Amino acid sequence: MVGAACAYYAARSGLHVTVIDRGPVAGGTTGAGEGNLLVSDKEPGPELDLALLSTRLWRTLSGALPPRIEYEAKGGLVVASGEAGMAALRDFAERQERAGVKTEEVTGDRLHDLEPHLAQGLAGGFHYPQDAQVQPALAAAHLLRAAGEQASGRARLRLRLGEKVTGVLKGANGEVRGVRTVSGDLHAPYVVNAAGTWGAEVARLADVHLPVLPRRGFVLVTEPLPRVVRRKVYAADYVADVASGSAALQTSAVVEGTPAGPVLIGASRERVGFDRTLSVEVLRRLAAQATRLFPMLADVRAIRTYAGFRPYLPDHLPAIGPDPRVPGLLHACGHEGAGIGLAPATGLIVAGILTGEELPLDIDPFRPDRFGGAR
Amino acid sequence: MARDRSPAELVGAAPEDPFEISFDGRTLTALPGQSVAAALWSAGILAWRTTRHGGRARGAFCGIGQCYDCLATINDRPNRRACLVPARPGDTITTQEGHGHAGLAV
């Protein structure tokens, strides 16, 4: 998705763009996510600024792309089971408000007006009207199609799928001259590393260190249902899990309906490398936590599950912008579980750098060389 | 004539006594060992579900539990594969509308 957004905004700026993907469109992390466009789970800071910009851009994109991308400005609801949790949420929301997030406190007795199937006895929650959702695989595909369609006149967009990048070509002064793929060399003055969870590998091909690591997550999918969950609903401890740096398994219920009918249940996080082995323990915990939030789910059947690898960087911020170690190399990866949401702002920034336009926000916190290491 | 002979006749089976089930309020007769889909077919009923989008009629297609086309609401539980569920005396089968969970809608 991040790569598609880079291509979209670069092509819109009149640049010639070639998208190279070793797999199909959305064959990596994009197709394995839930398509969250969230501000609610973000602390005030550079990532939230990126998310707020992206929220506006997604709204514009939703008008330009076909309805099939299933963009839903559904809003998010974060719930707390007790007063202590509620106090923490209140403090968090207050700080987010100051950063430009819209929040609305919902008392325990009003929760069921928003979500009739929620469990009884919850202390309350916060409603975030800016949270939204897309179907990520369709959104990425249609964004690429739109990038090609608007690349009229001078600009041109080429899509090369199923083609693995095997090297980064460099000139005499170490500057980027293009990439080598399994089918040959492709010359270009700029190369954008938008390889998501595999961003560390592409960085290594350019002899630079970027410690993107996989953070595994499972999603549990129910049988098709009518709309039983209106918003994205999650428990307050989700925010702490997202921000954690631990490699150990963490699960916190995130429940949402989809236009197609199934309810999606997340979210687990663990750093176990690229291990795709199904974990029944994770699924059991996800199901138990979701059922505590929505007891009616106990009578609903889960029909499948899927797993993906979030591109994790140790400080939970993406790498966006030029790499000072290799002129011509840019990075746009490491967005962890927020890549779908943060993609448009990332693409806009990358296009802005390539064309020398003024950037919409300070990208210093995202500098790709901040982890040091080789060169 | 060959087409009048049932599989039970062909193998010389002697089924136990038939019993009653109901489909959308209508009483039908089923034989022990028959799947719900087989019992419905025997009664000339070919469709017992409507699709989620468009409300088109559906019944048994593959007959071996793979295609999920034959879903029915059996004894108030939706999404049961009629081709796999054995018919039991007193079973109540109802046409499943779409996902069969309309009662949960909010």
Band (A345; pLDDT cuts 50, 70, 90): very high
Are A261 and B52 inside 8 Å of each other by CB?
yes
Check CB contact of A302 with chain B, cutoff 8 Å. Answer: no
Query: Looking at residue A143, which CATH number applies to its domain?
Result: 3.50.50.60
User: Domain check: are A336 and A262 in the same one?
Assistant: no
**Is-contact B70 B60, C-beta < 8 A?**
yes
Q: How many domains does chain A have?
A: 2
Query: Nearest-CA neighbor of B59 among B86, B82, B26?
Result: B82
Using CA atoms of B82, B83, B88, B94 in order, give the dihedral in degrees to the nearest 10. 20
Band (B34; pLDDT cuts 50, 70, 90): very high
User: Domain check: are A252 and A175 in the same one?
Assistant: no
User: Domain check: are A341 and A303 in the same one?
Assistant: no
User: Domain check: are A10 and A25 in the same one?
Assistant: yes
User: Is residue A96 in a domain?
Assistant: no
CA end-to-end span of chain B: 56
User: Domain check: are A284 and A328 in the same one?
Assistant: no
Q: Which helix (DSSP H) or strand (DSSP E) does residue A177 occupy?
A: strand A176-181
Please tell me the predicted confidence (pLDDT) of residue B4. Answer: 67
Are A226 and B102 inside 8 Å of each other by CB?
yes
Are A230 and B99 inside 8 Å of each other by CB?
no
**Is-contact A84 A367, C-beta < 8 A?**
no
Q: Is the pLDDT of residue A308 over 70?
A: yes
For a pLDDT cut of 70, what percent of chain A falls above it? 98
Band (B13; pLDDT cuts 50, 70, 90): confident
Q: Is the pLDDT of residue A153 over 70?
A: no
Chain A CA closest to residue B102: A226
Angle between helix A339-355 and A46-64 (nearest 10): 90
Mean pLDDT of chain A: 94
Are A261 and B106 inside 8 Å of each other by CB?
no
Please tell me the predicted confidence (pLDDT) of residue A237. Answer: 78
User: Is residue A158 in a domain?
Assistant: yes
User: Is residue A115 in a domain?
Assistant: no
Mutate to test the interface with A, among B77, B79, B99, B101 (most CBs of A within 10 A): B101
Residue type at A81?
S
Query: Looking at residue A278, which CATH number applies to its domain?
Result: 3.30.9.10
The two structure tokens encoding residue A173? 């002064």
Average pLDDT over residues B41-65: 96
Band (B2; pLDDT cuts 50, 70, 90): low
Band (A247; pLDDT cuts 50, 70, 90): confident
What is the DSSP secondary structure assignment for residue A152, as one 8-state letter?
A: -
- Please give the ipTM for the structure prediction: 0.78
Are A226 and B79 inside 8 Å of each other by CB?
no
Please tell me the predicted confidence (pLDDT) of residue A152. Answer: 63
User: Is residue A97 in a domain?
Assistant: no
- Which member of A117, A223, A301 has the closest CB to residue B106? A117
Please tell me the predicted confidence (pLDDT) of residue A43. Answer: 94
Q: Is the pLDDT of residue B36 over 70?
A: yes
Q: Which domain holds residue A150?
A: 2-69+135-212+315-366
Are A116 and B106 inside 8 Å of each other by CB?
yes
Q: Is the pLDDT of residue A375 over 60?
A: no
Q: Is the pLDDT of residue A92 over 70?
A: yes
Q: B31-97: which CATH number, 3.30.70.3190, 3.40.720.10, 3.10.20.440, 3.40.50.720?
A: 3.10.20.440
User: Domain check: are A175 and A263 in the same one?
Assistant: no
Mutate to test the interface with B, among A111, A225, A233, A303 (most CBs of B within 10 A): A225
User: Is residue A113 in a domain?
Assistant: no
Q: Regarding beta strands B49-50 and B26-30, do their DSSP bridges make them parallel or antiparallel, or are they unpaired?
A: unpaired
User: Is residue A298 in a domain?
Assistant: yes
Q: Is the pLDDT of residue B1 over 70?
A: no
Please tell me the predicted confidence (pLDDT) of residue A271. Answer: 93
Average pLDDT over residues B34-60: 96
User: Is residue A88 in a domain?
Assistant: no
User: Domain check: are A16 and A62 in the same one?
Assistant: yes
Band (A154; pLDDT cuts 50, 70, 90): low
Per the rule left: phi > 0, alpha: psi between -120 and 50, beta: everything else, A174 is left
Average pLDDT over residues A350-355: 98
Question: Pick from A294, A312, A330: which residue ends a domain?
Answer: A312
Sequence-ordered strand ranges (E) for A208-338: 213-222, 232-235, 250-257, 263-269, 302-312, 319-322, 329-333
Q: How far is A227 from chain B (nearest CA, A)?
A: 6
User: Is residue A94 in a domain?
Assistant: no
Please tell me the predicted confidence (pLDDT) of residue A236. Answer: 86
Question: Pick from A312, A328, A347: which residue ends a domain?
Answer: A312
Q: Is the pLDDT of residue A243 over 60?
A: yes
User: Domain check: are A52 and A149 in the same one?
Assistant: yes
Total residue length of chain B: 106
Average pLDDT over residues A56-74: 96
Question: Pick from A288, A312, A336: which residue ends a domain?
Answer: A312
